[in-house]
Structure 1
Amino acid sequence: MSSPVPHDPEPPIPAALVSPVNVTAGAVEHSVDVVRPRLRARPSRRVALYAGVQINGAPHLGTDVMQTAAFLLARSARDRLGVRPALRFGALDNAPHDTRVCPRTGTTYTRSYHHALGPARIEELVKRFYGGLFDALTALTGVPYTVETYTRQQRTPAFREEFLASLGQWERLRWTLAPSSGQVPVSVPCPECGWLQKSGEHTELLDADGRRARFAALCLDHGRYETDVRPDGQGWLGLSTLHRNLVKERLADRDEALPVVVKGADWAAGCRLLDEAFLCFPDSRPPARVFTPVVLSASGAKLSKSLMREGGAALSPDTPPWMLDATRWPGTPEGYAALLHRLVSLMLSEPRHFERGYTTSEIARLIAGPG
């Protein structure tokens, strides 16, 4: 007996959306207009929008709202600013896949998705979680996209050069990336097994210059080892979130296309520290950034995999399963993309609707339409 063909729900009817007046009222007509000053300062016919793709589990609605917003912002950049847009998604295969704790010292060791699964299975995960949605959004918006894993990106000479440049500013930089402690771990995996110390407690920078950095670290199974990090791609880098984003944003600025970073609004506080970090480099400035709406639980906390795993998301009873796990959408990828397209288009209809958060209950109301 064949399985029934999934069908998509009826298209939602746009509901009334009420948002407070925000601080950009009167200055910004459309959220993509914040890119215009950068285009005037650095004229370009092309704009590249950068966003991240987590592969450590199925995406929730908040993740897919951000990515849909990236497509719609790219289209708006084309239509309002007269540029040729492209979307570049970074697939984060550096997230921990396995965790171990040393019984003697309590040190946490992790193995990344890349080291645990390998490139072929990483590609399968990206395709499973995002391939259908991204292809459908490209069909709806006419905006092309590419996906590059962190592993592939961190092997490039340009990424390594930016990392080595950050070590050259380290004494000042580490206090901007970690102002409470000045401790910013750099982790290098054991060449035999791929495990690394999560917080780099026993990782030591032996020497560094613009051409190479040599690290010594400790493996739980194989003892002490040394690793060279060079522009030729040797070695694998495990960087903290802010350090990694600093390197990636400086790398993006090398492109001929004007870089625009798209992040959820929960990133705003972290970007204050990134902006401070940019000041450590002469004649350097952070890229244009656009912050997208976050999806919130009933408690006001944004949806996150960790909260859902720990049972602390405080979700309202009207939250459908697919909002927590996009793979549980009852219809087709094209239907899901169409729903997100309509929903995020409504958010983008005015900056005050875009520059805010939405509970799962409010999104359920918007999808249901009036009445």
Structure 2
Amino acid sequence: MTSSVSPVPEPNAPVSPVSVTVDAVEHSVDFVRPRLRARAARRVALYAGVQINGAPHVGTNVMQTAAFLLAAAARDRLGVAAELRFGALDNAPHDTRVCPRTGTRYTRSYHHALGPARTEELVKRFYGGLFDALTALTGVPYTVETYTRQQHSPAFREEFLASLGRWEELRWTLAPSSGHVPISFPCPQCGWLQKAGEHTELLEAGERGARFAAVCLDHGRYETDVRPDGEAWLGLTTLHRNLVKERLADRDEAMPVIVKGADWAPGCRLLDEAFLCFPGAHPPARVFTPVVLSASGAKLSKSLMREGRAELSPGTPPWMLYATRWEGTAQRYAVTLHRLVSLMLSDPRHFERGYTTSELARMWTESETGRPA
């Protein structure tokens, strides 16, 4: 038996409880090692999402910075080539309408409301400067691909059609309470779709294609064909979309590593069960990053921000809710985030936890100045 000596904590280190992975995991990137050994992979691609429906909050930027640092750690600690692939979710609702007669909600995505050019401008505005600065700091390259572009690929559509082939089993895995997993298609005339797909009907399905019928609030019934080489735009629920994306990522030569905030852990339990519906399939390696909590203990959330219910802890600067209110340069913001998240990654017990906005503000000040707050 050997005894281990705990490292001397840094002056601004958080006080964190003992992690359940103590003595098993020295660095959070080591969660990737078992799958890496089993696959004998020489390259890894870390996948993370980018929401474009408004300015990011600091919790989003912590997750993204962690993705860069985890990729650098995979390169340096595990000896593999590593890159980042961010998915820009231009399928987020831009506008919402409600049918006055039935109460059915219809939405129009950012892609359909703004178009590709303006969508790419939003991504660059909210994340371009930060990502470029983090690449300079870590040496990790990144790419950004919109959901619209990704779902247009034949491989994505093949995986979607494969999910339909196992639908009776899969739908109770993705929605165990009801078995209802909506699939929606935008109206070809106006781009609006039923958010919950109440009137979407699967007419026929096979390995090489499927046909659906749906209803538009303004233009009535329409039909959509989904083929690997087709043009149909797929509106999928969060879990269904992630299942298709993760199975698509597994086709790549680079081993996929999924990076998400720790609030995603319950959803990933369902995703991992969904993978088991496909014979011989294995869920991807996953790493969960710390979440940032508001005064109430709820994580920072764009939906709560829009509703005016995202309360900051007392004394927390407002830019933590809206990163665009940061008054410094993108470079300074990135450097401070790099220091802050490096501190979180210095010990798994610091990484496997959440942080209130007040605690994050304290750590931010010390990371920015190098002195205790």
Please give the range of the TM-score, normalised by the shorter of the 2 chains: over 0.9
Determine the C-alpha separation between the residues in 2 that align with 1:182 and 1:37. Answer: 33
1:8 aligns to what? Answer: none
Determine the C-alpha separation between the residues in 2 that align with 1:59 and 1:14. Answer: 29
Determine the C-alpha separation between the residues in 2 that align with 1:31 and 1:317. Answer: 31
The Cα offsets for residues 330-368 of structure 1, whole Å up to 9 and x where unpaired, read as: 111100000100000000000000000000000111122
2:291 aligns to what? Answer: 294
Pairwise CA distance, 1:16: 3.2
Pairwise CA distance, 1:295: 0.3
Give matches, 1:1-371, under 5 Å.
15-369=12-366, 370-371=372-373
Determine the C-alpha separation between the residues in 2 that align with 1:29 and 1:338. Answer: 24
The one of the two structures with greater contact order (alpha-carbon pairs below 8 A, sep at least 6) is 1
Determine the C-alpha separation between the residues in 1 that align with 2:333 and 2:11. Answer: 16
Alignment gaps of 5+ in structure 1: 1-12
Residue identity opposite 2:328 in structure 1 = G
Pairwise CA distance, 1:317: 2.4
Residue identity opposite 2:210 in structure 1 = A
Determine the C-alpha separation between the residues in 2 that align with 1:217 and 1:140. Answer: 48
Q: Is the 8 A contact 2:13 2:343 kept in 1?
A: no
Q: Which segments of structure 1 move beyond 4 Å, counting only runs of 4 or more?
A: none
Residue identity opposite 2:190 in structure 1 = C
Determine the C-alpha separation between the residues in 2 that align with 1:314 and 1:96. Answer: 24
Query: TM (normalized to structure 1)?
Result: 0.96
Pairwise CA distance, 1:307: 1.2
The Cα offsets for residues 273-320 of structure 1, whole Å up to 9 and x where unpaired, read as: 001101110000110000000000111100001112222222122111
Q: Is the 8 A contact 1:14 1:366 kept in 2?
A: no
Secondary structure of the structure 2 residue equivalent to 1:118: helix
Determine the C-alpha separation between the residues in 1 that align with 2:11 and 2:119. Answer: 37
Q: Is the 8 A contact 2:29 2:70 kept in 1?
A: yes
Pairwise CA distance, 1:323: 0.6
Residue identity opposite 2:116 in structure 1 = P
Pairwise CA distance, 1:233: 3.5
Query: TM (normalized to structure 2)?
Result: 0.95
Q: Is the 8 A contact 1:96 1:111 kept in 2?
A: yes
Determine the C-alpha separation between the residues in 1 that align with 2:228 and 2:156. Answer: 8
Q: Is the 8 A contact 1:156 1:233 kept in 2?
A: no
Q: Is the 8 A contact 1:14 1:367 kept in 2?
A: no
The Cα offsets for residues 63-108 of structure 1, whole Å up to 9 and x where unpaired, read as: 0000000000000000000000010000000000000001111110
Determine the C-alpha separation between the residues in 1 that align with 2:169 and 2:212. Answer: 20
Secondary structure of the structure 2 residue equivalent to 1:260: strand
The Cα offsets for residues 144-186 of structure 1, whole Å up to 9 and x where unpaired, read as: 0000000000000100000000000000000000000000000
Pairwise CA distance, 1:39: 1.0
Determine the C-alpha separation between the residues in 2 that align with 1:74 and 1:18. Answer: 26
Residue identity opposite 1:314 in structure 2 = E
Alignment gaps of 5+ in structure 2: 1-9, 367-371
Pairwise CA distance, 1:15: 1.0
Q: Is the 8 A contact 1:206 1:216 kept in 2?
A: yes
Q: Is the 8 A contact 1:15 1:367 kept in 2?
A: no
Determine the C-alpha separation between the residues in 1 that align with 2:42 and 2:365. Answer: 40
Determine the C-alpha separation between the residues in 1 that align with 2:256 and 2:313. Answer: 38
Question: Is the deviation greater in 86-95 or in 325-334?
Answer: 325-334
Secondary structure of the structure 1 residue equivalent to 2:178: coil
Residue identity opposite 2:86 in structure 1 = F
Secondary structure of the structure 2 residue equivalent to 1:315: coil
Determine the C-alpha separation between the residues in 2 that align with 1:96 and 1:138. Answer: 30
RMSD, aligned α-carbons: 0.9
Determine the C-alpha separation between the residues in 2 that align with 1:237 and 1:218. Answer: 15
Secondary structure of the structure 1 residue equivalent to 2:37: helix
Determine the C-alpha separation between the residues in 2 that align with 1:317 and 1:309. Answer: 20
Residue identity opposite 1:131 in structure 2 = G
Determine the C-alpha separation between the residues in 1 that align with 2:75 and 2:206. Answer: 41
